[in-house]
């Protein structure tokens, strides 16, 4: 996109360009809402709807990653940790609730000493649980974030550190079988805040909650991306030190984005639990953490809806393709990763830029904010890099 073109298209005054585009966005949200709340429940069987609900939970993690990685340049390979924290907190509460007041969850009777450890106790309260689901991931992310970002650990260092965190977390969960259920994880929940989980009506309700939460998260990220904070985040990604000399603390900026991503992952994990009925270390370790990235990379990391659509598409492909060709799926997933990241670094959303031009006029579903010109939608690279590796006739 040439600067001149950008300038032309946006007509100069930032204040004015909103109207048309805001309409498009609202239209996009409306379409998404109708699809999620109207069409999907009407067309899909309980089983498929349950799957969609699960995908929504995974997509929540992706939305957060889109912010932290796509916008903030923090390649986090450890989102499974926050997903797991949210999930385990929820699962602990459900276990305690199933056990009744003062009761002991079944697995503790089997593998533990039959008493509920003290730090489980607060989770008997639904309120504490809901708060903890958000706050615990945020607290851990902030603590870790401050520790590493103020010391200017970033890029590959951060990626590898976060990956090690995921590995360590999974190992820790497995090792503390008496209180975490070990490899089995926590499962066999009967009710969700008093609602019977076996009842299809309640399952549909869970789906609606998940879909609504996902939409809300997308809206929040949209707000963040377009705010000054969003610009600052990109600035920090590209020139962390320069930002420092403008009087900002880059670590704080990064921590906020990272913590938001953690909170989203935590919420995703928390909803995942009643929907899927289990959370185990297999959902939080290195492999699932990288799995979260697949959708984000494929959808388009720096865009708003890319991560969501990517995550939904990949989950769906996994479920349906692996039904038909189990070992083929591994190849397919690998190949997808390779092809998209290597050859289409902007993800599928960058195809949208092309499509948009010959589809002008129609309502935009995968709305890419205008602040993100095509070049910025690409990898966090410096422009010269983007261009030289880009299209030269």
| Burial degree of 54 (CB within 10 A; 0-12, 13-18, 19+) | buried
Contact of residue 138 among other proteins, ligand ATP, none (CB under 5-8 Å per partner type): none
CB of 155 to other proteins, least distance (A): 7
Give the whole-angstrom CA distance, residue 67 versus residue 82: 15
Residues 6+ apart with CB under 8 A from 260: 64, 67, 68, 220, 221, 224
Candidates 46-54, 99-107, 113-121, 380-388: pick the segment binding ligand ATP (CB under 6 A): 380-388
List the single partner that 244 binds among other proteins, ligand ATP, none, CB under 5 to 8 Å by kind. Answer: other proteins
Long-range contacts, stretch 14-22, CB < 8 angstroms, 24+ apart: 17/370, 21/370
Angle at 167 between CA 162 and CA 169, to 5 degrees: 90
Distance from C-alpha of 160 to C-alpha of 148, rounded to nearest angstrom:
12
Quick one: what does residue 115 bind among other proteins, ligand ATP, none, with the CB cut-off 5 to 8 Å set by partner type?
none
Site string for ligand ATP, 331-370 (x = CB under 6 A): ----------------------------------------
Q: Is 384 one of the binding residues for ligand ATP (CB under 6 A)?
A: yes
CB of 250 to ligand ATP, least distance (A): 21
User: According to CB under 6 A, which one of 110, 131, 219, 387 is a site residue for ligand ATP?
Assistant: 387
Q: How far is the CB of 247 from other proteins (least distance, A)?
A: 3
Residue 191 partner contact from other proteins, ligand ATP, none using kind-dependent CB cut-offs of 5 to 8 Å: none
Name the minimum Å distance from CB 245 to ligand ATP. Answer: 17
Query: Of other proteins, ligand ATP, none, which one does residue 208 interact with (CB within 5 to 8 Å by kind)?
Result: none
196 DSSP β-pair partners: 191
Output phi, psi for 368, to 5 deg.
-105, 125
| Residue number with CB closer to ligand ATP (5 or 383) | 383
- Contact at 8 Å (CB) between 106 and 339? no
Long-range contacts of 321-329, Cβ-Cβ distance < 8 Å, separation of 24 or more: none
Q: What are phi and psi of 94, to 5 degrees?
A: -60, -40
Q: Which does 270 bind (CB under 5 to 8 A by kind): other proteins, ligand ATP, none?
A: none
Of 20 and 390, CB closest to ligand ATP: 390
As a whole number of angstroms, the distance between CA 209 and CA 212 comes to 5
Per rule CB under 6 A, count of chain residues that contact ligand ATP: 3
* DSSP-assigned letter for residue 14: T
Q: Residue 349 is encoded by which pair of tokens?
A: 């959303």
With CB under 6 A as the contact rule, which of the stretches 107-115, 133-141, 171-179, 379-387 interacts with ligand ATP?
379-387
Question: How many whole angstroms separate alpha carbon 46 and alpha carbon 187?
Answer: 20
Which member of 114, 117, 175, 383 binds ligand ATP (CB under 6 A)? 383
Q: Which does 290 bind (CB under 5 to 8 A by kind): ligand ATP, other proteins, none?
A: other proteins
Q: Which residue is nearest to ligand ATP (CB)?
A: 384
Site residues (CB under 6 A) for ligand ATP?
A: 383-384, 387
């Amino acid at each position: 996109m040439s600067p001149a073109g950008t300038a032309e298209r946006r007509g100069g005054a930032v204040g004015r360009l909103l109207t048309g585009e805001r309409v498009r966005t609202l239209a996009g949200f409306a379409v998404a809402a109708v699809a999620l709340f109207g069409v999907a429940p009407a067309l899909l069987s309980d089983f498929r709807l349950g799957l969609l609900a699960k995908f929504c939970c995974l997509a929540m993690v992706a939305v957060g990653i889109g912010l932290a990685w796509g916008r903030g340049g923090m390649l986090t390979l450890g989102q499974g940790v926050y997903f797991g924290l949210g999930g385990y907190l929820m699962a602990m509460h459900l276990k305690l609730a199933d056990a009744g007041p003062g009761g002991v969850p079944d697995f503790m009777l089997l593998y533990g000493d039959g008493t509920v450890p003290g730090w489980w106790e607060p989770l008997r309260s639904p309120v504490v649980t809901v708060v903890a689901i958000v706050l615990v991931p945020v607290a851990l992310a902030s603590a870790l974030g401050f520790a590493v970002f103020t010391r200017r650990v970033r890029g590959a260092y951060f990626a590898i550190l976060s990956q090690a965190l995921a590995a360590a977390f999974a190992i820790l969960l497995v090792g503390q079988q008496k209180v975490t259920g070990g490899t089995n994880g926590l499962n066999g929940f009967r009710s969700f805040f008093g609602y019977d989980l076996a009842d299809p009506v309640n399952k549909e309700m869970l789906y609606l909650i998940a879909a609504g939460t996902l939409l809300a998260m997308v809206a929040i990220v949209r707000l963040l991306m377009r705010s000054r904070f969003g610009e600052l985040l990109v600035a920090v990604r590209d020139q962390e030190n320069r930002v420092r000399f403008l009087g900002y603390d880059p670590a704080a900026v990064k921590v906020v984005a990272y913590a938001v991503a953690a909170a989203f992952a935590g919420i995703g994990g928390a909803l995942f639990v009643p929907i899927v009925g289990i959370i185990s270390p297999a959902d939080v370790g290195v492999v699932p953490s990288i799995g979260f990235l697949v959708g984000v990379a494929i959808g388009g990391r720096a865009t708003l809806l890319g991560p969501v659509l990517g995550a939904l598409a990949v989950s769906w492909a996994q479920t349906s393709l692996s039904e038909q060709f189990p070992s083929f799926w591994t190849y397919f997933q690998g190949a997808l990763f390779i092809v998209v990241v290597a050859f289409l670094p902007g993800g599928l959303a960058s195809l949208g830029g092309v499509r948009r031009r010959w589809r002008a006029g129609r309502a935009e579903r995968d709305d890419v904010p205008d602040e993100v010109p095509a070049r910025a939608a690409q990898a966090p690279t410096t422009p010269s890099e983007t261009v030289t590796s880009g299209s030269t006739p």
